[in-house]
Structure 1
Amino acid sequence: EAKSTGYGASGRNGGWVSSDYPVYRKTLEKRHGLDATDNLFKELANAIDEIGQISGQIAPKASFVKSGTVTFARNKAQERRLKESADSEHFWKPAGELGQLIQVTDLRGGLFNPQCATINPFQLVLGLANYLESKGVVIAEGVFATQTNGGVLANSSLVKAPVVIRASEAYSNPGREFIPLYSLMIASEALSEEIWDQIGVKDRFTFAEGTHLVNYAQRTADNRLAIGGRGASYPFGSKLIEEKEMTSSVHQSLEIMAKRWFPVLKNVKFTHAWGGAVAITRNWEPYVQFDKSTGSARLGGYAGDGVTMSYLASKILADLIVGRESNVTNLHFVNREIRKWEIEPLRYLAVNSLVKLSGIADKEEARTGRPSLVSRLISPLILR
């Protein structure tokens, strides 16, 4: 660990233990077939329950609670899009019914998916680290690791092992195999029960607005509102730039969004702000790869859905390493080649244009109530 345990995405994410996958179900069915798609979502649902069991045993402070997730619509275009995307995992609830769960302004209804849990991610990773150390595992903090042909170069020392796993996600050297996109978050001061009574979310389900630009939120165990989203620009050449984690314009837009949803937050202070990079492959699918002949393994590309996916990917990789065939080792993304991104500067221009255009599409739909023309143009390019 180059910094300290939990410094990366494992400790700084939005706390969604979700069955969501970066690629839409209908797209997956076209790419890989109905059976492969069904198998994937079955294993994601199983993974959520397994994470809950593990969390209860080794990380009770993570406050794991499985109460689902809500994606709500606040204009006609969002309502139409969400209704069309309803499936066997996502159930449409009209405004009257959904309003009993969450009291958002201009609510038109939304999708409910029971396969999602809420956690404190930092407490989960700390609990896991403490458990592993109690079993004799050594976690070397403050050590910058680089994979080499002979093993791992850790600071100035070469560490050799029969199997070397690269699980550093966006903090790896991406080449053209993935890009780092920054996802930023803010959290409010602890809110009173009177304020939460006017918001809802009694059971601490996760929630988001059905916009094109990604957003996500939760009610924390200590009664804060934590909300995150995209919007920070992609750095040229896929270079990690720490300053982008604190892009003030994105943090401000998240606060504006939260107060637009819930006017009762008008005078509430947002006391915490942070961010980090997630890794996205060109076709938005994760990867799990193991070369038995060299002992080289890698996994990643979770595109912001990493809490459940990183657990599932690790479970797959463990089976591959010990040579055990299982239901998860046959999932469609295992040992598949990674589709490469376009070369620079095309990548820089395209990705940042898509981020900007997604925001424009949301403003267009909020203003007109009609599906965005901009969105229709960019959707085929995103490959989701």
Structure 2
Amino acid sequence: MGRPLNLWSSEPLASRPPLGGDRDADVVIVGAGYTGLWTAYYLAKADPTLRIVVLEKETVGFGASGRNGGWCSALFPASARKLAALPGSSRSAAIEMHRAMQASVNEVGLVAAAEGIDCDYHKGGTIVLARSAAQLARARAEVAEAHEWGPGDLRFLSRSEVETDVRATKVLGATFTPHCAVIHPGKLVRGLAAVVERRGVTIHESTPVSSVEVGRAITPYGVVRAEVVVRATEGFTPGRAVAPVYSLVVATEPLSDATWDRIGLADRPSFSDHRHLIIYGQRTADGRLVFGGRGAPYHFRSRVRPSYDEEPRVFAKLQATLRDLFALDDVRFTHAWGGALGVPRDWCASVGLANGLAWAGGYVGDGVSTTNLAGRTLTDLILRRDTALTRLPWVGHQSRNWEPEPFRWLGINAGLRAMTLADAEERLTRHNSQIARLMGPLLGS
């Protein structure tokens, strides 16, 4: 297959110089992905006099921000029940978090429109198919839980209701939420970088940060001194705070009108099904299917390397799964790529500021909209504002560290393997998987 080819990075990249020596700033942000750029955007908008510097080891959007499946959703990696159980939290706080995530989906679209970022934003919701008896039971249970914990915007769809919009195979029903948009991730992150630069933010690429300390970020090319240092490194965060887990994606050629008439997805909802091993897809603005999922291994000692972006076995499985989902026998795949996302030990994202050091991350693959919420929240924290955002239950949360190696490697890969086995178990037994139930505590359930 050769080197992985990322559909989102086909456009030429702007080249930004590395840091040229020591300098002072008011805020220095480490990482030029969505978290860092949204934070820079809202800070610069709130106070144009702030001196804001963003340091990036590679290029803008090099990590998950430029590699994801393009879901801008209201999903949060921790359930409402788990959020309500956090220290100092409550049922009402968990519900407010849910509403804040919904608002973030809209906020991304509003900013893109206001700032002229053409990122193919389209809010068509998310449909998650149930294609087995066990998945059907899980779908109904999720709808019931959503009505218990929120404004009841997750709906159950019968098979006939599904078929009016999506013609997939083996469908027994589905869940649908309107709170998701699809985007072109590369266009969003590159457009956002250009916008913050127009607002006076300085971005230095090819500038690795060797140490983040109170009052400064240290690089081989100089030290940036600032009152606030923001760590926005997500899956590239050193240490045991998060584990970098790979997600892989494939994309088809543009499909014919006749094929789309047969498949549906006319309103471009993002789509998945209720299996345990996560899959995700979208219909792009130029008429392709982009489809991704988990299954790639976690690498010993949290290593992240370009060679890990390619897993031919997983690419082949994704292609076969998509063909089966829509009975696509003759479709051609033109792109395949991957990247690491950050998973905290309790699978709960967090944001915070303490002693001049700020952080956000641990999105577990739900980061396109959550980063926007993180950027707005960090802005309020840095500017010492007491707002509804700074009182959300994820603010100040500290996940415990992952276990040391080799236990981390054994546990994470056992969990990934277990989810594959759980889906096979359900196909055989037609009942909810006992394997998944037993592995739930490891995987954040």
Q: Normalising TM by the smaller chain, what interval?
A: over 0.9
Query: For the residues of structure 2 that align with 1:241 and 1:89, how far apart are their CA atoms?
Result: 40
Corresponding residue of 1:373: 434
Corresponding residue of 2:11: none
The offset of 1:189, in angstroms, is: 0.5
Corresponding residue of 1:63: 120
SS in 2 for 1:131: helix
Query: For the residues of structure 1 that align with 2:180 and 2:343, how far apart are their CA atoms?
Result: 21
Query: Are the structure 2 counterparts of residues 59 and 276 from structure 1 closer, same or farther at C-alpha, using a change threshold of 3 Å?
Result: farther
Corresponding residue of 2:138: 81
Corresponding residue of 1:321: 382
- Kept in 1, the 8 Å contact 2:83–2:393? The answer is no
Corresponding residue of 2:368: 307
SS in 1 for 2:192: helix
Query: For the residues of structure 2 that align with 1:194 and 1:93, how far apart are their CA atoms?
Result: 25
**Letter aligned with residue 336 of structure 1:** H
SS in 2 for 1:139: strand
- Kept in 1, the 8 Å contact 2:69–2:281? The answer is yes
- Kept in 1, the 8 Å contact 2:157–2:173? The answer is yes
Corresponding residue of 1:160: 225
Higher mean C-alpha displacement, 2-11 vs 92-101: 2-11
Query: For the residues of structure 2 that align with 1:270 and 1:319, how far apart are their CA atoms?
Result: 44
SS in 1 for 2:339: strand
SS in 2 for 1:272: strand
Corresponding residue of 1:106: 170
Corresponding residue of 2:7: none
1:287 aligned onto 2:350: yes
User: C-alpha offsets along residues 290-341 of structure 1, whole Å, 9 cap, x if unaligned?
Assistant: 12x4x21111111100011111011111100000010010011111222222
Corresponding residue of 1:351: 412
**Letter aligned with residue 379 of structure 2:** A
The offset of 1:169, in angstroms, is: 0.7
Query: For the residues of structure 1 that align with 2:371 and 2:339, how far apart are their CA atoms?
Result: 16
The counterpart of 2:186, out of the listed 111, 118, 122, is: 122
The offset of 1:95, in angstroms, is: 0.7
- Kept in 1, the 8 Å contact 2:295–2:416? The answer is yes
SS in 1 for 2:169: coil
- Kept in 1, the 8 Å contact 2:128–2:273? The answer is yes
**Letter aligned with residue 425 of structure 2:** E
The counterpart of 1:333, out of the listed 377, 394, 400, is: 394
The offset of 1:58, in angstroms, is: 2.5
SS in 2 for 1:170: helix
The offset of 1:29, in angstroms, is: 3.9
- Kept in 1, the 8 Å contact 2:251–2:335? The answer is yes
**Letter aligned with residue 345 of structure 2:** R
**Letter aligned with residue 194 of structure 1:** A
SS in 2 for 1:310: helix
Query: For the residues of structure 2 that align with 1:231 and 1:125, how far apart are their CA atoms?
Result: 26
User: C-alpha offsets along residues 17-58 of structure 1, whole Å, 9 cap, x if unaligned?
Assistant: 101111223443455432011100111111111111001122
Corresponding residue of 2:64: 9
- Kept in 2, the 8 Å contact 1:66–1:115? The answer is yes
Corresponding residue of 2:334: 271
Corresponding residue of 2:43: none
Query: For the residues of structure 1 that align with 2:362 and 2:441, how far apart are their CA atoms?
Result: 20
SS in 2 for 1:303: coil
Query: For the residues of structure 2 that align with 1:137 and 1:176, how far apart are their CA atoms?
Result: 31
User: C-alpha offsets along residues 262-305 of structure 1, whole Å, 9 cap, x if unaligned?
Assistant: 11x211111101111111111111111212x4x21111111100
- Kept in 1, the 8 Å contact 2:80–2:98? The answer is no
Query: For the residues of structure 2 that align with 1:358 and 1:289, how far apart are their CA atoms?
Result: 32
Query: For the residues of structure 2 that align with 1:63 and 1:135, how far apart are their CA atoms?
Result: 23
SS in 2 for 1:43: helix
1:96 aligned onto 2:160: yes
Query: For the residues of structure 2 that align with 1:314 and 1:169, how far apart are their CA atoms?
Result: 13
The offset of 1:59, in angstroms, is: 4.4
- Kept in 1, the 8 Å contact 2:64–2:339? The answer is yes
SS in 2 for 1:221: coil
User: C-alpha offsets along residues 84-123 of structure 1, whole Å, 9 cap, x if unaligned?
Assistant: 1112232111111011111110001110011111111110
**Letter aligned with residue 195 of structure 1:** T
- Kept in 2, the 8 Å contact 1:361–1:375? The answer is yes
Identity in percent: 37
CA RMSD of superposed structures (Å): 1.4
Corresponding residue of 1:34: 91
Corresponding residue of 2:284: 220
Query: For the residues of structure 2 that align with 1:85 and 1:319, how far apart are their CA atoms?
Result: 33
Query: For the residues of structure 1 that align with 2:258 and 2:204, how far apart are their CA atoms?
Result: 45
The counterpart of 2:313, out of the listed 242, 246, 249, is: 249
Could you state the TM-score of these two structures normalised by the residue count of structure 2? 0.83
- Kept in 2, the 8 Å contact 1:182–1:278? The answer is yes
Query: For the residues of structure 1 that align with 2:57 and 2:442, how far apart are their CA atoms?
Result: 35
Higher mean C-alpha displacement, 322-331 vs 60-69: 60-69
Structure 1 gap ranges (5+): none
User: C-alpha offsets along residues 198-240 of structure 1, whole Å, 9 cap, x if unaligned?
Assistant: 1110001100011101111000000100001110111111121
Aligned length, in residue pairs: 380
Query: For the residues of structure 2 that align with 1:98 and 1:48, how far apart are their CA atoms?
Result: 23
1:141 aligned onto 2:196: no
Query: For the residues of structure 2 that align with 1:227 and 1:11, how far apart are their CA atoms?
Result: 15
SS in 2 for 1:57: helix
Query: For the residues of structure 2 that align with 1:68 and 1:229, how far apart are their CA atoms?
Result: 19
Higher mean C-alpha displacement, 374-383 vs 89-98: 374-383
Query: For the residues of structure 2 that align with 1:187 and 1:129, how far apart are their CA atoms?
Result: 25
**Letter aligned with residue 131 of structure 2:** R
